[in-house]
Amino acid sequence: MQLVEVQKKNFDDYRQFIDEETEFELDFLVQKLKDKKIAMINATAFGGGVAEKLHSLVPLMKAMGINIDWWTILGHEEFYNITKNFHNCLQGQEGVLPVSDVETYLKYNQMNASYMKDWEYDYIIIHDPQPAALIESRRKKKYEKWIWRCHIDTSSPNKEYWDFLYNYIVQYDAVIFTMHDYAKEGIEPGNITIITPSIDPLSIKNIPLKKEEAEAIICKFGVDTNRPLISQVSRFDPWKDPLGVIDAYKIVKKDFPSVQLALVGSMAYDDPEGWDYLYSTLRRAGEDYDIKVVTNFNGISDLEVNAFQTASDIILQKSLREGFGLTVAESLWKGTPVIGGNVGGIKLQIEDGVTGYMVNTVEECAEKILTLLRNPVLAEEMKEAAREKVRKEFLVTKNIQVYLRLFYNLGFTAKNPAPW
């Protein structure tokens, strides 16, 4: 396993985003947990929403005085191919779990558990399916509290894959889901905590950019900043439906020929399937030069993502399944209206008709794009409501508050309850 080095942050910089009551509770929890050690474990340090969230969460918790480390597991392509299939099947994809996949999955979990033999942590948080079996491969110490954090939509999972994973999930002291709908029967309600993901308002991806600055950045990718732009920022993944986005764009272009489309994605190390879907996306785009497909391999970093989200007229997140969809909160924070798939955690973020629109089909998506392109005043009215919703519910400070509350509560019993 590998310890991830994170950049330093100053928590005082974030107090401007929280109210007095939240500030008081955070200071109280930090004091109570100052002698505890915490480990976060996930699959990769770069690429994808989990790694991105931890790059904000971990250094900010450190800055508050929490003793926390972030570890990534070791794996090779065969392991990540299998766990990507786990991810898809837990979100409902059909398929049979091969015995050989189980053996490979457990082999890598047992290997990584061997690196943990001398660990001394009070709380160990495991993110998603990849390292979920670590709990069984490591002899649990009496004082350790294990928490499994599920970032994906498990509302209608493939039963065979869920049943396999469930054998490990039930061994955890607590389980975190993004929504109650994702928590399946058999997990004790007292062990379930709901934590929505969050954005870091002071990260490079979310710091304020002037429209002129953002436009200067995106024009380097061939975007004509004098014409309307719609963008989707996400992995190239069938659940994100980039092919459906292109189809919606093509409908819009018939009525609004000046429109442009940007598909902006990051290719993650633990997502080998992403390359195949990137090529499918490029084939669907064809020779339409108003479709820009750009990734971290041709110059997209956090600053460029910020620029696309700031300078676009509309942001799409047309997911077919979605654990949360962090790019929705990012775009709402910048005041850009968002049209999202009517699924998963996107439904927590978009208030239909107030901060954006929810859609179920390609045709609905195209219709709402046209509505916003034809009514710029409507888009402007959505701006303030969108930003305030994110401030209250989806900033990293809120995420930390709920995590610390969970750690603190795990030290209490029904006879000695926590104060909330």
Considering the domain architecture, whether residues 194 and 306 belong to the same structural domain is answered as: no
Considering the domain architecture, whether residues 277 and 323 belong to the same structural domain is answered as: yes
Position 89 in a domain: yes
The total number of structural domains that make up the chain: 2
CB count within 10 Å of CB 375 equals: 11
Considering the domain architecture, whether residues 118 and 163 belong to the same structural domain is answered as: yes
Position 204 in a domain: no
From first CA to last CA, the distance across the chain in angstroms is: 36
With tokens 């994702």, the residue in question is: 182
Considering the domain architecture, whether residues 126 and 176 belong to the same structural domain is answered as: yes
3-state secondary structure the chain: CEECCCCCCCHHHHHHHCCHHHHHHHHHHHHHCCCCEEEEEECCCCCCHHHHHHHHHHHHHHHHCCEEEEEECCCCHHHHHHHHHHHHHHCCCCCCCCHHHHHHHHHHHHHHHHCCCCCCCCEEEEECCCCCCHHHHCCCCCCCEEEEECCCCCCCCCHHHHHHHHHHHCCCCEEEECCHHHCCCCCCHHHEEECCCCECCCCCCCCCCCHHHHHHHHHHHCCCCCCCEEEEECCCCHHHCHHHHHHHHHHHHHHCCCCEEEEEECCCCCCCHHHHHHHHHHHHHCCCCCEEEEEHHHCCCHHHHHHHHHHCCEEEECCCCCCCCHHHHHHHHCCCCEEEECCCCHHHHCCECCCEEEECCHHHHHHHHHHHHHCHHHHHHHHHHHHHHHHHHCEHHHHHHHHHHHHHHCCCECCECCCC
CA atoms within 13 Å, Cβ hemisphere of 81: 9
Task: Calculate the alpha carbon distances from 76 to 116, 275, 277 in Å.
Answer: 19, 16, 20
Q: How confident is the model at residue 413 (pLDDT cuts 50, 70, 90)?
A: very low
More confident residue, 50 or 342: 342
Considering the domain architecture, whether residues 128 and 22 belong to the same structural domain is answered as: yes
Residue 171: Cβ-neighbour burial (10 angstroms; 0-12, 13-18, 19+): middle
Which CATH number characterizes residue 105's domain?
A: 3.40.50.2000
Q: What pLDDT, on a 0 to 100 scale, did the predictor assign at position 414? A: 39
Rounded to a whole number of angstroms, the CA Rg of the chain reads 21
pLDDT digits (tens, 9 = 90+) for 114-164: 999 888 999 999 999 999 999 987 766 778 999 999 998 898 899 999 999
Position 60 in a domain: yes
Q: How confident is the model at residue 416 (pLDDT cuts 50, 70, 90)?
A: very low
Question: Smallest Cα–Cα separation from 43: which of 249, 235, 268, 210?
Answer: 268
Six token digits for residue 13: 């910089």
**Angle at the Cα of 293 from the Cα atoms of 291 and 297, rounded to 5 degrees:** 160
Length of the chain: 420
Considering the domain architecture, whether residues 43 and 189 belong to the same structural domain is answered as: yes
Considering the domain architecture, whether residues 156 and 295 belong to the same structural domain is answered as: no
Considering the domain architecture, whether residues 158 and 263 belong to the same structural domain is answered as: no
Residues 147 and 346: their CA atoms lie apart, in Å, by 24
Residues 244 and 116: their CA atoms lie apart, in Å, by 44
Q: What pLDDT, on a 0 to 100 scale, did the predictor assign at position 130? A: 95
Position 418 in a domain: no
Considering the domain architecture, whether residues 16 and 92 belong to the same structural domain is answered as: yes
Q: List all residues 6 or more positions away from 417 whose beta carbon is below 8 Å from its beta carbon.
A: none
Considering the domain architecture, whether residues 343 and 324 belong to the same structural domain is answered as: yes
Q: Residue 114 in contact with residue 74, Cβ under 8 Å?
A: no
Position 417 in a domain: no
Q: What is the mean pLDDT of residues 264-270?
A: 75
Considering the domain architecture, whether residues 269 and 188 belong to the same structural domain is answered as: no
Residues 258 and 229: their CA atoms lie apart, in Å, by 9
Q: What pLDDT, on a 0 to 100 scale, did the predictor assign at position 418? A: 54
Position 376 in a domain: yes
Q: List all residues 6 or more positions away from 77 whose beta carbon is below 8 Å from its beta carbon.
A: 272
Residues 406 and 255: their CA atoms lie apart, in Å, by 51
Considering the domain architecture, whether residues 123 and 240 belong to the same structural domain is answered as: no
pLDDT digits (tens, 9 = 90+) for 202-244: 999 999 999 999 999 999 999 999 999 999 999 888 889 999 9
pTM score of the predicted model:
0.80
Q: How confident is the model at residue 346 (pLDDT cuts 50, 70, 90)?
A: very high
Q: How confident is the model at residue 63 (pLDDT cuts 50, 70, 90)?
A: very high
Residues 15 and 154: their CA atoms lie apart, in Å, by 34
Position 287 in a domain: yes
- How, if at all, do strands 37-42 and 123-127 pair? parallel
- Least confident stretch, 73-87, 183-197, 310-324, 395-409: 183-197
Q: What pLDDT, on a 0 to 100 scale, did the predictor assign at position 415? A: 39
Q: What pLDDT, on a 0 to 100 scale, did the predictor assign at position 229? A: 98
Residues 343 and 338: their CA atoms lie apart, in Å, by 14
Position 119 in a domain: yes
- Full domain range(s) for residue 341: 211-393
Q: List all residues 6 or more positions away from 212 whose beta carbon is below 8 Å from its beta carbon.
A: none
Six token digits for residue 127: 């993110």
